[in-house]
């Protein structure tokens, strides 16, 4: 019996000796009021040690948090994580069209699905299954843990929109890939960002915007563009939670397991929060003086049917990176999940 107790004591001491405490920083260029940032703190950071304890691990993570651009700006999120300015944080792949074009597949496949949770879960699955998606992160010295995104896009304008003809010749804020969504309508795409939209419409630089309500409502865009026309251009992946690969490689198996699990949960949790805000803001728009209408179904169909082959052009331009494989796999999963895409971009 004494030998057994001694053996147990030695085993316990050895276990304690192997326990590790990792000092890590979680950061973002954006503030925690945004769901994809807030959930980094309230879920990932808050739950890490709770999960480690629950699984019987003695390892712990001591997090330092730095949000709201305290360490870097929104154009530097990928480099900040990859270069080790922060250990982990939110990466905006939306702004990394040249370094990470494959992660922007949803922006070249509009009118697929308004289901943000479903769309992001598919993107997570694709990252697990397709090496080309994983490698896009690892080439930047980052390990991907979970996708983030925004709800479907609609129109906010300073004029009523009852048909597509009403958009002809109008200057519409549609930066980046979203410019391709409106060019065939005869609208004139104007570059900008959520913080600049209000002033751009107010000063006549633009007549309206293609925008997400969760961004437009807090910025009071309805004050200068009070006509809200619901279109449903689709939900999109905008980035995700990543961790520096060198840091990742030095973590214990227990910590990596917990962070993988939390990365999946982060995707769903923030997407549900986004959708809750979307529904709330949509309901509040009439109360703040906005006129909310739906673009007639036949006009939405004409908009979608008239689009050029955006996905095909994107796949061809990024053929050497595996874009065709990603596009086909994405559309297969969308259909298998029953998301009923208005456009099957893999067959266009």
Q: Report pLDDT digits (tens) over 252-270.
A: 999 999 999 999 999 999 9
pLDDT score for 15:
46
pLDDT score for 195:
87
CATH 3.40.190.170 given to domain 154-234+286-336: yes
Tell me the average pLDDT across 165-174.
98
pLDDT score for 348:
82
pLDDT score for 297:
97
Q: How confident is the model at residue 9 (pLDDT cuts 50, 70, 90)?
A: very low
- The rounded mean pLDDT for the chain is 94
- Asked if the model's pLDDT at residue 205 lies above 70, the reply is yes
Is 154-234+286-336 in the same CATH topology as 12-100+117-149+237-278? yes
Tell me the average pLDDT across 179-206.
96
Q: How confident is the model at residue 18 (pLDDT cuts 50, 70, 90)?
A: confident
Tell me the average pLDDT across 157-184.
97
Sheet holding 208-211, edge to edge: 188-190, 171-173, 208-211, 154-157, 227-230, 291-294
Q: How confident is the model at residue 129 (pLDDT cuts 50, 70, 90)?
A: very high
Closest CA to 141 of 211, 242, 227, 213: 242
Q: Report pLDDT digits (tens) over 296-325.
A: 999 999 999 999 999 999 999 999 999 999
pLDDT score for 284:
98
pLDDT score for 14:
44
The Cα 68–Cα 89 span in angstroms is: 11
Could you tell me the CA-to-CA distances from 34 to 28, 46, 76, 122, 150 in Å, in that order? Answer: 11, 17, 18, 22, 11
Task: List the CATH code of the domain at 12-100+117-149+237-278.
Answer: 3.40.190.170
Domain positions in the chain: 12-100+117-149+237-278, 154-234+286-336
Q: Report pLDDT digits (tens) over 334-346.
A: 999 999 999 999 9
Q: How confident is the model at residue 49 (pLDDT cuts 50, 70, 90)?
A: very high
């Amino acid at each position: 019996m004494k030998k057994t107790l001694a053996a147990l004591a030695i085993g316990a001491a050895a276990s304690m000796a192997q326990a590790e405490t990792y000092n890590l920083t979680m950061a973002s260029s954006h503030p925690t009021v945004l769901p994809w940032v807030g959930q980094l703190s309230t879920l990932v950071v808050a739950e890490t040690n709770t999960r480690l304890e629950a699984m019987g691990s003695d390892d712990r993570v001591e997090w330092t948090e730095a949000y709201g651009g305290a360490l870097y700006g929104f154009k530097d999120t990928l480099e900040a994580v990859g270069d080790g300015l922060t250990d982990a944080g939110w990466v905006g792949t939306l702004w990394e069209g040249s370094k990470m074009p494959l992660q922007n597949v949803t922006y070249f496949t509009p009118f697929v699905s308004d289901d943000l949770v479903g769309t992001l879960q598919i993107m997570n699955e694709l990252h697990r299954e397709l090496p080309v998606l994983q490698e896009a992160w690892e080439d930047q010295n980052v390990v991907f843990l979970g996708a983030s995104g925004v709800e479907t896009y609609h129109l906010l304008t300073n004029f009523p929109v009852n048909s597509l003809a009403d958009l002809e010749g109008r200057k519409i804020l549609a930066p980046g890939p979203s410019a391709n969504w409106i060019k065939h309508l005869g609208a004139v795409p104007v570059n900008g960002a959520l913080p600049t939209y209000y002033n751009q419409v107010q000063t006549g630089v633009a007549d309206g915007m293609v925008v997400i309500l969760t961004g437009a409502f807090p910025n009071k865009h309805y004050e200068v563009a009070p006509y809200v026309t619901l279109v449903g251009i689709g939900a999109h992946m905008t980035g995700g939670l990543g961790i520096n690969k060198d840091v990742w490689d030095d973590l214990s198996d227990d910590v990596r397991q917990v962070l993988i699990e939390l990365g999946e949960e982060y995707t769903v949790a923030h997407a549900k929060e986004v959708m809750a805000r979307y529904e709330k803001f949509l309901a509040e728009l009439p109360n703040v003086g906005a006129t909310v209408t739906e673009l007639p179904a036949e006009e939405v169909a004409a908009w979608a049917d008239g689009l050029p082959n955006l996905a095909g052009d994107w796949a061809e331009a990024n053929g050497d990176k595996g874009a065709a494989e990603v596009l086909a796999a994405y559309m297969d999963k969308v259909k298998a999940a029953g998301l009923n895409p208005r456009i099957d971009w893999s067959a266009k």
